[in-house]
């Protein structure tokens, strides 16, 4: 077979055999978000480029190098979302959701696009689960988003994941720190990479985030932001730590975390796993909403990479429960029997159980093979004599047990009683029986 084209570099297909893993972790994410009182928000996959320039920040790698930006036929510059916060914040403002009162607590599951080199846990199209709170200055809000992310890891039984936190100050204290950083890095200007040299004047904090080995070596001895925090930022950071202690969440202060997005203020944090690096990153962005044209609205959130989380589960051999398989396969031999088979599977499907019959014209033998392949728990074969009698044999494919079953009006009740008499997870049994 010669396909006309393959998938785009850096994008992945999620195939039917694997999708249950995604659905499982997404269900956990939705469940945790709901436990914390967050509602889902869905925003478009693209936005006006200006939104990301203003929010993510035009000195960041994301905006400078990684964004998928294009002009529409109408001449507008549009970008695929590289992260989830900007769109959510824009939507909140555009629809005046803040009129309903603060805090606004939203979560999202979204595809993101960054023009990066494909690598372990790094793709050009990837997916994020994120949570955001708008209108909450209290350190309890910082703790709440960290606890929520932590709950997702706990629910999934992830081991060895550590929460690292830092504070990067506010517009009050940051300039002093930025000046100290500029002075320090200027003394190493010759050694810095080209990108970092250009960052020196505009945003020297970005240099701390540079992945080049030379720059990160120099960054190790750079002034530490925690030494420059103003009293209010110090107090806030201390209170965040007290809240995390009270919630029983372990953390480590890591003064080198600065995060790759410009909009962060005060608290920044990462959940880091030794096997994989950062799985979740977030923090406070008190200036973002003003930057987008809204009123001053202290806000915060995180983004968690779903591909990275799945890789982590895999490296830790954490098993994701297999999806339910077929409950009943009905084979009809002959035109009339085939129609009866269809009627029976419909009755079972109406009860939200899984049932199949042939749709490709397979022989009896091939259908038996198929029923085994899809791991159908029960099997019924209907031929002329079964049609005549109005009853057939229900075979339990796991135990081999065979019991007579009506294929007329009594079918559904008899099937359900056979179904509930065998082992099932409780949640698989339809509620109305």
Q: How far is the CB of 148 from ligand ATP (least distance, A)?
A: 15
CB-based contacts of 299: which residues, under 8 Å, 6+ apart?
A: 89, 132, 133, 134, 135, 136, 284, 285, 286, 288, 289
Cα–Cα–Cα angle for 184, 190, 191, rounded to 5 degrees: 80
Segment near ligand ATP (CB under 6 A), from 195-203, 303-311, 339-347, 391-399?
Answer: 303-311
CB count in 10 Å sphere of residue 385: 10
Restricting to residues 119-158, which ones interact with ligand ATP according to CB under 6 A?
Answer: 121-123, 126, 128
List the one residue out of 136, 142, 164 whose CA is nearest residue 243.
142
Residue 260 interacting with ligand ATP (CB under 6 A): yes
Restricting to residues 404-433, which ones interact with ligand ATP according to CB under 6 A?
Answer: none
Report the residue number whose CB is nearest to ligand ATP: 305
Applying CB under 6 A, which of residues 83, 164, 358, 386 lies at the interface with ligand ATP? 83
Residue 224 interacting with ligand ATP (CB under 6 A): no
Encoding tokens for residue 308? 């990275």
Applying CB under 6 A, which of residues 21, 54, 81, 114 lies at the interface with ligand ATP? 114
Q: Is the peptide bond before 103 cis (omega within 30 degrees of 0)?
A: yes
Applying CB under 6 A, which of residues 12, 26, 58, 116 lies at the interface with ligand ATP? 116
CB-based contacts of 99: which residues, under 8 Å, 6+ apart?
A: none
| Nearer Cβ to ligand ATP (59/234) | 59
Pair 98, 72: CB distance under 8 Å: no
CB-based contacts of 379: which residues, under 8 Å, 6+ apart?
A: 328, 329, 330, 331, 368, 371, 394, 395, 397
| Nearer Cβ to ligand ATP (78/111) | 111
- Spell out, one character per residue from 19 to 48, where the chain touches ligand ATP: x when CB under 6 A holds, - when not: ------------------------------
- Spell out, one character per residue from 304 to 323, where the chain touches ligand ATP: x when CB under 6 A holds, - when not: -x-xx---------------
The residue to which tokens 């998938």 are assigned: 7
The CA-atom distances, in angstroms, between 83 and each of 38, 110, 225, 317 are 19, 8, 25, 29
Applying CB under 6 A, which of residues 212, 278, 316, 406 lies at the interface with ligand ATP? 278
**Interacting residue ranges for ligand ATP, rule: CB under 6 A:** 83, 114, 116, 121-123, 126, 128, 260, 278-281, 303, 305, 307-308
């Amino acid at each position: 077979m010669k396909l006309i084209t393959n998938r785009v570099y850096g994008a992945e297909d999620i195939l039917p055999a694997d999708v249950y893993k995604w659905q499982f972790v997404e269900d956990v994410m939705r469940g945790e978000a709901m436990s914390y009182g967050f509602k889902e928000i869905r925003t478009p996959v693209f936005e006006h480029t200006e939104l990301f320039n203003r929010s993510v920040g035009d000195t960041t790698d994301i905006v400078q190098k990684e964004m998928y930006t294009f002009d529409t036929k109408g001449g507008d510059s549009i970008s695929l979302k590289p992260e989830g916060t900007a769109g959510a914040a824009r939507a909140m403002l555009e629809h005046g959701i803040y009129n309903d009162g603060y805090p606004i607590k939203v979560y999202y599951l979204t595809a993101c696009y960054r023009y990066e080199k494909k690598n372990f846990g790094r793709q050009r199209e990837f997916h994020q689960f994120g949570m955001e709170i708008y209108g909450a200055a209290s350190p309890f809000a910082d703790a709440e988003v960290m606890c929520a992310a932590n709950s997702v890891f706990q629910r999934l039984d992830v081991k060895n994941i550590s929460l690292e936190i830092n504070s990067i100050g506010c517009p009050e204290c940051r300039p002093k720190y930025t000046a100290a950083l500029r002075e320090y890095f200027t003394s190493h200007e010759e050694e810095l990479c080209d990108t970092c040299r250009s960052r020196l004047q505009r945003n020297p904090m970005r240099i701390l985030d540079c992945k080049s080995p030379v720059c990160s070596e120099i960054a190790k001895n750079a002034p530490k932001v925690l030494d420059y925090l103003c009293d209010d930022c110090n107090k806030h950071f201390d209170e965040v730590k007290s809240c995390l202690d009270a919630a029983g969440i372990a953390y480590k202060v890591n003064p080198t975390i600065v995060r790759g997005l410009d909009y962060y203020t005060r608290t920044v944090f990462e959940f880091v796993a030794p096997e994989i690096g950062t799985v979740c990153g977030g923090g406070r962005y008190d200036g973002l909403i003003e930057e987008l044209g809204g009123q001053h609205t202290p806000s915060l959130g995180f983004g968690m990479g779903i591909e990275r989380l799945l890789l982590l589960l895999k490296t830790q051999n954490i098993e994701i429960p297999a999806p339910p398989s077929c409950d009943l396969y009905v084979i009809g031999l002959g035109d009339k029997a085939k129609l009866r088979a269809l009627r029976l599977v419909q009755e079972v499907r109406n009860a939200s159980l899984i049932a199949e019959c042939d749709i490709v014209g397979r022989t009896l033998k091939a259908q038996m093979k198929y029923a085994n392949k899809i791991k159908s728990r029960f099997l019924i074969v209907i031929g002329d004599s079964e049609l005549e009698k109005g009853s057939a044999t229900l075979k339990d494919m796991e135990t081999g047990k065979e019991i007579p079953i009506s294929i007329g009006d009594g079918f559904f009740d008899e099937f359900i009683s056979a179904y509930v008499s065998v082992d099932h997870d409780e949640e698989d049994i339809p509620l109305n029986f």
